[in-house]
Amino acid sequence: MRPSAASKSVLWQRLFASGSFSRSAMSVGAAAALSQLASIVAMPILARLYDQSAFGHAGALLAYANILAAILLFGLSDAALASDDDEDAVRLTLAGVVVPVLLAPGMIVLTDFFVDTNRFGLGGLPPYASGLATAVVLMLVILSHLQNQLVRVRNFSATAKGYLNLGVTRASMQLAGGAMGFGFAGLFGGELVARALTNLGLVRAWTKSARRPTSASVGSILSTLARYRRFLLFRTPSSILSATAVGLPALLVIGQFGAVDAGHFNMTAMMLVAPVVLIQKAIGDVFIGQFIGLRREKADATTLIVRVGLTLTGIAAIGGLAIWLLAPWAFSTAFGAEWRASGEMAIACVPWFMAMIIVLPLSQVLIVNHRPDLKLGFDFSYIGLLFLADSIATDNHAGSLTYVEYISWGSALAYLLYVPLLIWSFLRPGSVASP
């Protein structure tokens, strides 16, 4: 039986009509857009204040910091997000913040070793880089916990304000550092200051909206960790692999071709990631908040998934076409002729860019459906495909541009694997806590 015109209209309205989702998405999206706009507006000036080597070193160290932060999250941030108990969520967050702080001295020693031995392309950094990297790691860990807690309570206004503050403060600090001739320290130090100030604002918002646990003693926290041991067992390696997959391309490029080519790649990544982050935060954070609400109410989330998936696919298609047509001209015009190579790398990254837009806003569904085992399988596949792309490119003696193209297609293929895993998590949801 063919659906009537009226039923088609009702379906269309359910898929795309406004409501709390749309209003929240617009609020977060506006703030995220302004945040990314601040970075984009500042970038033509930053590209003239800092050379390619500064961008290369800062990008490589930030990639390393993100990997280390993923290790020190121990899956606790995602466990708190997925928990059905508000008190458990707070205890998991407290544990997730305290432990990395206690491990900070070890992080400094480890980073010193990598810098001194030029592991992962981190050689050539100044002596204070280890301290800066450790501080950024702690800020990244705390930020992850705070963002997930605010998503749990659907405090999207605080989330929006946090994104805006992060973008504006980062751009301001990096511009000031460049004007004073700080080089690498200006770029990376600006990142640190911005994240620290953003965290302060999010802490205030969370303390006003979070439910205080009846007990937050060491014993109650350890008991909570024990009950969530299955989730943490799978999620911890998954988080490490996921962050490694994100940061690995920058480390591979600087290791293969040096800081200058890595600087071009990092400029490309920053300009392409900016809209991806905008979309992920504007749509993804609101989507997962609404999804959690539907799950708690035992309501069907199919309409929500379809609506968001169709929207993301359309955005990815338009964005990919724009990059393919305009990137070399846009990069050389905005940043100077010396940055044209970054625009050419942007074209090579179109498959990767489109896949990220479609998949990343939906990626937390596996966690919320309590299937960290499936997420772990995806992350193993992603890392494997990246190393396969690296091996093929190296065997073919690929130049930096072709090398990036191989990495792009390997990443895009990995993201395609996410779709069947997403479907399977709906068919076979898991349990967040161990009995």
Residues 65-83: b if buried by 16+ CB within 10 A, e if exposed:
bbbbbbbbbbbbbbbbbbb
Residues near 218 by Cβ (< 8 Å), separated by ≥ 6?
A: none
The pLDDT value given to residue 183: 86
Rounded to whole angstroms, the Cα distance separating 189 from 131 reads: 11
- What tokens appear for 354 in the block? 């489109």
Residue 334 in domain:
yes
pTM for this prediction: 0.73
- Taking residue 151's Cβ as centre, other Cβ atoms within 10 Å add up to 19
Rounded to 5°, the CA angle 121-127-133 comes to: 65
Q: Residue 366: inside a domain, yes or no?
A: yes
Tens of pLDDT, residue by residue over 410-424, are 999 988 888 888 878
* Cα torsion 139, 142, 145, 147: sign: negative
Please check whether residue 266 is in contact with residue 250, taking contact to mean a CB–CB distance below 8 angstroms.
yes
Cβ partners under 8 Å of residue 89, min gap 6: 80, 81, 83, 149, 152
The two structure tokens encoding residue 4: 């009537």
* Whole-number pLDDT of residue 322: 94
Structural domain contains residue 432: no
d(CA 161, CA 171): 16
Q: Which domain holds residue 416?
A: 18-427
Residue at 213 is within a domain? yes
128 domain residue, yes or no: yes
Query: What's the structural domain count of the chain?
Result: 1
The answer to whether the beta carbons of residues 162 and 198 sit under 8 Å apart is yes
Residue 4: per-residue pLDDT: 47
Whether residue 137 is contained in a domain is answered as yes
CA distance readout (Å), 330 to 249, 262, 315, 327, 334: 23, 19, 20, 5, 6
Q: How far apart are CA 375 and CA 44, in angstroms?
A: 37
- For residue 366, CA distances in Å to 12, 259, 358 come to 26, 36, 15
Q: What is the DSSP letter of 433?
A: S
Three-state DSSP state, 56: helix
Q: Identity (one letter) of the amino acid at 153?
A: V
Question: What does the pLDDT read at residue 409?
Answer: 94
**Is 7 a member of any domain?**
no
Residue reference for tokens 């998503």: 151
pLDDT digits (tens), the chain, 435 positions = 444 444 444 433 443 444 455 566 566 666 766 777 787 888 899 999 998 888 888 888 998 898 889 888 888 888 888 777 778 888 888 888 888 999 999 989 988 888 887 777 777 788 888 999 999 999 999 998 888 888 777 777 787 788 788 888 999 999 999 999 888 899 999 999 999 999 998 888 887 766 666 666 788 888 888 888 777 777 777 777 877 887 888 888 888 888 888 889 989 988 888 788 778 777 877 787 777 777 776 767 777 888 888 889 999 999 999 999 999 999 999 888 889 999 999 999 999 999 999 888 887 777 777 777 787 788 888 889 999 999 999 999 889 999 999 999 999 998 888 888 887 887 777 665 544
Tell me the three state secondary structure of residue 35: helix
DSSP 353-411: HHHHHHHGGGTTHHHHTT-HHHHHHHHHHHHHHHHHHHHHHHHTT--HHHHHHHHHHHH
Whether residue 1 is contained in a domain is answered as: no
